[in-house]
């Protein structure tokens, strides 16, 4: 759907905003339907545009509001605004752990908006994500890096807009290494807890502990090969850790 530059300027739209309004069919020289006018932005009246600080303006702080996770992650807790790296060596099978994690978050924290961005995963693993558990974007390994990077970045921008409105969002990326390096860095670094406001939690998988893992506030290390046993239970290494776990009551 085409949104005109004038509409973007008048309503002060940002990437990831969810807009609604009447739509007209494309005319002869146009490729897409066009928005006649913007009625709502993120569910609120479009005009006058609400005051909202840029996402990066509030001072970030370490997470203090602990999130519920599967029992095997008790030694590596994380909270709203955490930056979580799951280091998944060959055979670690993080996909199964992620599905349980997302199910637990949605069960225990209805205030969270959870989006899963898949990039470079096996088609069989992509098919195991039930649509009702979270918004799932991207796809399996047959998609291009550019397409999957764009899907992950759009998920990030949508999450940012929710946080600017005081909401709490979680973006799960499996895997960060399957998208463009610059995009992976932007997405992972965006996680933050805004004191007295919203939060953005980012959970990303990596095959090796690299520079992205060093940015993490929680590192979950999976033992290699333990996911191949067929019991859907990868083993979490004792090397897993959380920065300032004391703030989460751990």
CATH number of the CATH domain containing 208: 3.40.50.300
User: Would the pLDDT of 90 be above 90?
Assistant: no
Domain membership of residue 158 (yes or no) is yes
For the stretch 110-147, pLDDT in tens is 999 999 999 988 888 888 887 666 788 887 677 788 98
If one counts the domains in the chain, the total is 2
Domain membership of residue 231 (yes or no) is yes
Domain membership of residue 54 (yes or no) is no
For 185, the domain range is 60-248
For the stretch 43-76, pLDDT in tens is 889 988 888 888 887 788 999 999 999 999 998 9
Residues 33 and 129 placed together within one structural domain of the fold: no
- Does the pTM of the predicted model rise above 0.75? yes
CB 135 within 8 A of CB 153: no
Residues 102 and 225 placed together within one structural domain of the fold: yes
Residues 94 and 127 placed together within one structural domain of the fold: yes
Residues 122 and 169 placed together within one structural domain of the fold: yes
């Amino acid at each position: 759907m085409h949104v005109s530059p004038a509409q973007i300027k008048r309503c002060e739209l940002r990437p990831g905003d969810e807009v609604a309004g009447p739509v007209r069919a494309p005319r002869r020289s146009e490729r897409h339907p066009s928005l006649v006018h913007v009625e709502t932005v993120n569910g609120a009246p479009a005009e006058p545009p609400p005051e909202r600080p840029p996402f990066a303006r509030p001072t970030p702080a370490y997470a203090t509001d602990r999130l519920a996770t599967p029992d095997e992650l008790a030694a590596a807790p994380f909270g709203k605004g955490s930056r979580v790296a799951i280091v998944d060596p060959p055979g670690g099978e993080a996909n199964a752990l992620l599905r349980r994690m997302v199910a637990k978050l949605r069960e225990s924290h209805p205030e969270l908006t959870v989006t899963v961005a898949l990039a470079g995963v096996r088609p069989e693993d992509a098919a195991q994500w039930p649509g009702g558990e979270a918004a799932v974007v991207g796809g399996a390994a047959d998609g291009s890096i550019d397409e999957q990077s764009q899907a992950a970045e759009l998920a990030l921008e949508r999450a940012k807009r929710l946080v600017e409105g005081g909401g709490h969002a979680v973006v799960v990326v499996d895997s960060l290494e399957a998208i463009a390096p610059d995009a992976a860095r932007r997405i992972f670094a965006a996680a933050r807890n805004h004191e007295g406001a919203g939060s953005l939690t980012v959970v990303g998988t990596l095959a090796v502990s690299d520079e992205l893992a060093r940015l993490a506030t929680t590192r979950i290390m999976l033992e290699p090969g333990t996911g191949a046993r067929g019991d859907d239970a990868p083993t979490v290494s004792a090397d897993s850790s959380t920065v300032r776990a004391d703030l989460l009551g751990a």
